[in-house]
Amino acid sequence: MSTEPIVQYVGFEAKALVREYRFKVREAGEDREFLLNIANEAFVSHRASYQDAPGICAVRLHVELAAFANHPPETQFEITGTELDTYREARAPKRGQVPWARKPQED
């Protein structure tokens, strides 16, 4: 049996200033709930997309779980601008790579 926790995205709630993303972490018969917030401004300014938001939050949650042996002292986290930038840069296509370009012909 695996000792790794199971992380499950449960959903989100749109609030006045943030979108609150809810995750459930299951480990050894114990369920814990975590809330991760992304400021609405991040979506308006296009620093985050609605489609990427659960993934951004999942990355942060996995970091917290790893740092505290799967038992972080906090259950609510704010996603920072730096985390948004890091996520976006890690998934940006590399310069000079065009996936639909023709392969060079060999002689």
Asked if the structure places residue 97 within a domain, the reply is no
Asked if the structure places residue 22 within a domain, the reply is yes
Whole domain around residue 37: which residue ranges? 6-89
| Predicted pLDDT of residue 93 | 77
Q: What is the pLDDT along the chain (107 residues), one digit of tens a residue?
A: 557 899 999 999 999 999 999 999 999 889 999 999 999 999 999 999 999 999 999 999 999 999 999 999 999 999 999 999 999 999 887 776 666 666 667 76
Asked if the structure places residue 73 within a domain, the reply is yes
Asked if the structure places residue 98 within a domain, the reply is no
Asked if the structure places residue 100 within a domain, the reply is no
| Predicted pLDDT of residue 101 | 66
pTM of the model: 0.83
| Predicted pLDDT of residue 106 | 72
Asked if the structure places residue 29 within a domain, the reply is yes
Total tally of structural domains belonging to the chain: 1
CA–CA distance, 95 with 23 (Å, rounded to integer): 34
State the burial class of residue 73 (Cβ atoms within 10 Å of its Cβ: 0-12, 13-18, 19+).
exposed
